[in-house]
Structure 1
C-alpha cells in the first residue's frame, strides 16, 4: 500500500571525497514535496554503494543494513514540514563511490502505519563535479575514408577482394543440403530480427543477389570461405556454424556498402578466408542482480551471434536472487526470485518496496537454449555455490547447521551466505538441482561459482569446525573459530587460500565435481575453485577473473582456463575514471580502445598457452537498472572483445575497428554522442 500514486518526496545524494583535513561523507537529503507534514517515518535506500558497518552516521540512525539496502531513522522529534529537507550523513562506505551509478538508485519511506511511500531519486552527485551524466552507447561515426574497403567486425584472417558492384538490395540464398538450409534459415531469421526493414534476405525478383551455400570438408569447424563474382556469391563452411559466420560477414559487407556507399564497397571479385583464433569466445550475463526477460536474453544472443561470439555464460543465481525454475524446490523461485519491502530479500540495487523480480521457467530456458544452438552458441549455466547463496538459503533455510551461531559477512555485505560443506542436506539438494539443470543444458559444462567465500565462513558451525578439526587439525579449527563475528572484508574480497574456509570449500568442490563427473559433466568455476588443488584438472574449466599473472600461474599448474580479467573484461566497469561515467571502478576501468589493445595472455609461456581455452567478457548487473547504462557499458566493448577472440593479434588494428564498429547494433537502442 502506498500513500500516493505519484512520488511526493525526493532524495538527493552527494558524495564528498576525503581531504587531508576532512572525512569523506555520503549525504542523503530527503525533501518533502507534499502538502503535509511528515513524521514517524523511516528512509530505506538501495544502490551499489554500501554503508560500512562501522560508519558514523550523523543526523539520524542507521537501523539496519543488508548489503546495499539501508534503513535510516530521523531524530525522534523530527517533523518534516512541506518544502523542507532532512539530511543524514554517513562517514564510512564499504567502497568509495567513484561514479554516479554507485550511489542510491532507489528509495522509499516506511510510514508509522507500516505502509510505504515512493521517493523520486535524483542521480548521485560528487562534490565539485557538475559534468553531464552519461548514458547510452557511444556513437562511433563512420568516416568518409576508412582504412579498409569493406565493413566486417570481427576482422577476418584473409581479405583479398577486388572491384566494385552496385550494392545489391539483399541476398537471395540458395543452400545446398540440410546444414546449409538450416544456416540460411537462421541467417534469415537473425537479420529479420536485428534489421527488420532492411530486407537483407530477399529473392532475385526483389533485387537479391544470388548467394550459394555449401559445406566443405577441408575447412575448420567454424571456418568459411566467401568467393565474390559479378554473378553472385558462393559461401562454403566447415560446419553449419561456419556457414552462418560466412553469411554474417556477407551481411555486414552488404550493410556497410548500402548504408555508407561513399566509404564501403560490395566486391565484384576475390575472396575472404576466415576462421577464429580462439575456440571459446564468450559473454557472461548476470541475471541475479537485475532480471532480464526472455525477449531481452534472446536479442542479446542474436547480438552475440552478429559478433561471432559462441559461448553464453548464464549467471542464474547469487545472493540477490535465484532465477531458474527447479521442480523439486519451488521455494527457490517463490522466495528467491523476488525482492520487496518485508520480504526475505529486501529491495536491492534499484528495486523499490513493491515486489519485483522474475525467473526463467523451464520452458523459457529450453527456448533460449534452442535459439542459442541455432546461432552457434553454447549455453553454460552457473549456480554460484558454496558462497553467494543468500537467496538460496532464504528459500531453503534448513540447509543451515541448526547449531550455527554468530555471523560472518561476504564482501558484498551479506551475512551467512555460504552453503555448509559438511551437511549431507547440502549435497542432497544440490544433486537434485544439478540433475534438473543437466537435463536443460546440452553443453554439459556446469559452472558452480566457488568465488568470494568469506574468510570466516562456517566459523560458527559446530559441524563444520568438527570436520575441519578432523581434516586439518585442532590448531586450524581453533583459529577458524576465532573468525566468528569478525568483519574481515569491507573493502575487498578475502584471500582465503590456506585458511580453514579454503579447506572446507575444497572438500565441497571435490564432492560436487565428483557428482557432476558421474553425470558426464565438466565442472566450471571461477579461479578460486583451484583452492586446495583438489579438483580434477581433466574434468574442470576455470575462469580467471583476477589478473593476467594469476591466470598464467593456473595454466602453468595444468588447469584449462578461460581468461576474463576484471580490470579490463568486466563490462560493468566504467569507460573512464570520470564521475559522469556510469559503472564501477573497483577492478579498474577500460574504454573500448584499452579493451581492444589489451593482451590477456601477455607474458604467457608456450606451455601455459596450451591450457588457454579462450576468453570472455563478464556483464555484472549492479548498475544495470537503467538500460541506457547497459548500452553504454556493453557497446562497443562487446565487439572489441569479439575481435580479440576471433582475429589473430597481428591482424588487429584499432583505427580500422573504430571506423567499422559504428555499424554494429546495440541491445536497447540508447545512444550518446559523448
Structure 2
C-alpha cells in the first residue's frame, strides 16, 4: 500500500506543460491539425537519418534540456530529422507533429536547423516532465537569403565570449550572417603576419573621449585584439549555427590605427595617433604609394586565410580627400591612371574608385567578392561587388538597377546604435529608431522593377559602438529591435502584422532571459 501511495504521489507531482506556436519570426504557413498532440518526455529520442545532421540533433537536445530540464533518450522514437531533396529552398523546411512523433525535413542541414529553431521556440521555458506538442503542419523558409547583423569591435573591443553570445542571439532570430567590423580609427583588432605593430600599437588608444566629443578624456589606455586562433574559433562556432562571418577591413579611410602603427602608409608620414574621439578624420591611406597596396594585400591574404566567406567587406565609406588633393604621389597616380572628374565627382573621388576597384580585382583573383558601403558606387566597380546601402535606400536602389546585389541597411531603419526611447536612460550617438519603425521597414519598395528587386538580397542591422562600451549595453541596443528585423527579412511582407508581433514578443523575451542578455523592456 505504501508503494502504491508513493507512486500515486509521484504521478500527481509530474509537471506537464504545453508547447505554444507563438514563434518569431512568423513562419510562411502553419496549420493546426485535428489530431492528438505528441507527448515529449525523457523517453523521447532524436532519430537522425543522416550523419550530416548530428550537429542539429545536438543543438535540439541541448535546447530541450536547457528549457525543460528533460534529458532526451539516446535510443527510441520521437523526433525525426530527415534530409529531403524535394524541398527546394536551401533554408526551407517542413515540420509535422502528430501523436506518434515530430518530423522535420529539409534539403540541407541549414533548413533542418531552422526547423529546430521553430520547435525550440515553441517549447516552454519551464521545468517539465512532459511537454504536450499540439499537432501542426508547418512549411517555412526565409524571404531573403541574407539576414545579418554588424557588430563594431573597432571602436570598442568585445571579447570572444561576447561575440559568441551574439552568435547565439542571431541564431535565435534565424539570422545567418555576422558582419564583424574589425578595424577602425580607434583600434585595430586582428594580427597580420609581417605587420606586428598593428596589434602592438594600433590596437590601443591612449585615452577615450567622454560624452559626445566634449573635449574631455578619461586618461585611460584602452584596447585589445584577437588572436588568429580566437577568430578561427568564432568562425567555427558560427558555422555550427549556420551563420557566415563576413569580416570588414575598412579602407582607405577609418585607418588611423594602421597609420599610427606604420606612418609611412599615409600621405604626410605623420606623426599619427590611434583615434581618441569619434568622427571622420582627414588622414587616410595614401593611394599614391605601391607600398600601401602591398600592405592591403597582406592584410587581405590573412583575412582570406581565416574567413572562408565568399564576401569580404572593404568599407569604402567616409574617406576625405583632403590629403590626396595635396599629395604629390596621389596626384601622380591620378595622372598616370588618367583619372578625371566626372558626374559631379572629383578626380580624387575617381582615385578612390581606382583604389576600391584594384582591391576588388585582388579579391576576385582569389575567388572572393567585395562588399562595400554605397560610396563605392562613385567609382568604377564591377557589378560583382555587393553594395551595402547605409546613407538611406537610394544608393541601394540605384545599385540594384545597375545589376549589383544589394544589402539594405539604411540608418533610418537599421542603425540600432540610435536611441530606441525618447527619454533613454543611456547615452547614444543620436537618432531615434523605435521598434515599430524597424518593423515597418521594406527592403524592396513595391515601385522597384522586379529585375532590380531580384538583386535586393537582404537587410542588416548595424551596431556601431562609439557609445556602446560594455556587452550588456550592446545587447540592450540590439534587443528587441533585432526581432523586428528578423521578421522583416524572414516573413513574407504581406503576412507581417505589428500588433501580432507584439503579442508574440513576450515569449521571445523569455529566451533573452534564458540566454542571460539584457534587452530594452520598454516599447515605443
TM-score for both structures, normalised by structure 1:
0.67
Correspondent of 1:572 among 417, 424, 437? 417
Correspondent of 1:544 among 389, 403, 409? 389
Structure 1 residues 252 and 575: alpha-carbon distance in aligned structure 2, compared to 1, 3 A threshold: same
Cα distance in 2 for residues equivalent to 1:418 and 1:555: 29
Cα distance in 1 for residues equivalent to 2:317 and 2:516: 31
Residue 225 of structure 1 aligns to a residue in which SS? strand
Give the structure 2 partner of residue 500 of structure 1: 347
- Which structure's CA Rg is the greater one? 1
Give the structure 1 partner of residue 72 of structure 2: 202
Give the structure 2 partner of residue 529 of structure 1: 376
Structure 1 residue 452 displacement after superposition: 0.7
Structure 1 residues 559 and 197: alpha-carbon distance in aligned structure 2, compared to 1, 3 A threshold: closer
Structure 1 residue 331 displacement after superposition: 0.7
- Let me know the Cα RMSD of the aligned residues: 3.1
Cα distance in 1 for residues equivalent to 2:339 and 2:169: 53
Correspondent of 1:515 among 329, 350, 362? 362
Cα distance in 1 for residues equivalent to 2:344 and 2:127: 55
Cα distance in 2 for residues equivalent to 1:509 and 1:473: 14
Correspondent of 1:467 among 302, 323, 333? 333
Q: Is the 8 A contact 2:37 2:98 kept in 1?
A: no
TM-score for both structures, normalised by structure 2:
0.85
Residue 313 of structure 2 aligns to a residue in which SS? strand
Give the structure 2 partner of residue 177 of structure 1: 50
Give the structure 2 partner of residue 419 of structure 1: 285
Structure 1 residues 581 and 235: alpha-carbon distance in aligned structure 2, compared to 1, 3 A threshold: same
Structure 1 residues 571 and 521: alpha-carbon distance in aligned structure 2, compared to 1, 3 A threshold: same
Structure 1 residue 417 displacement after superposition: 2.8
Structure 1 residues 619 and 403: alpha-carbon distance in aligned structure 2, compared to 1, 3 A threshold: closer
Correspondent of 1:153 among 24, 30, 34? 24
Q: Is the 8 A contact 1:627 1:668 kept in 2?
A: no
Structure 1 residue 270 displacement after superposition: 2.9
Q: Is the 8 A contact 1:560 1:613 kept in 2?
A: yes
Q: How many residues matched?
A: 488
The answer to whether residue 102 in structure 2 is matched with residue 229 in structure 1 is: no
Give the structure 2 partner of residue 482 of structure 1: none
Cα distance in 1 for residues equivalent to 2:218 and 2:182: 22
The answer to whether residue 111 in structure 2 is matched with residue 251 in structure 1 is: no
Cα distance in 1 for residues equivalent to 2:413 and 2:360: 30
1:88-143 CA-partner distances (Å, limit 9, x unpaired)? xxxxxxxxxxxxxxxxxxxxxxxxxxxxxxxxxxxxxxxxxxxxxxxxxxxxxxxx
Of the structure 1 ranges 598-607 and 389-398, higher mean CA displacement relative to structure 2 is found in 598-607
More strand by share: 1
Structure 1 residues 334 and 581: alpha-carbon distance in aligned structure 2, compared to 1, 3 A threshold: closer
Q: Is the 8 A contact 2:95 2:115 kept in 1?
A: yes
Cα distance in 2 for residues equivalent to 1:212 and 1:548: 43
Structure 1 residues 554 and 201: alpha-carbon distance in aligned structure 2, compared to 1, 3 A threshold: farther
Matches within 5 A, 1:342-491: 346-348=207-209, 352-401=218-267, 412-413=278-279, 415-471=281-337
Quick one: higher RCO (CA 8 Å, sep 6+), 1 or 2?
1
Cα distance in 1 for residues equivalent to 2:375 and 2:401: 15
Residue 459 of structure 1 aligns to a residue in which SS? helix
Unmatched runs of 5 consecutive residues or more in structure 2: 1-18, 212-216
The answer to whether residue 476 in structure 2 is matched with residue 629 in structure 1 is: no
Structure 1 residue 434 displacement after superposition: 0.6
Q: Is the 8 A contact 1:410 1:453 kept in 2?
A: no
Q: Is the 8 A contact 1:405 1:460 kept in 2?
A: no
1:397-434 CA-partner distances (Å, limit 9, x unpaired)? 1112357899xx99954544311112101111111111
Structure 1 residue 161 displacement after superposition: 1.8
1:223-259 CA-partner distances (Å, limit 9, x unpaired)? 1111111122111111011111111101111127x58
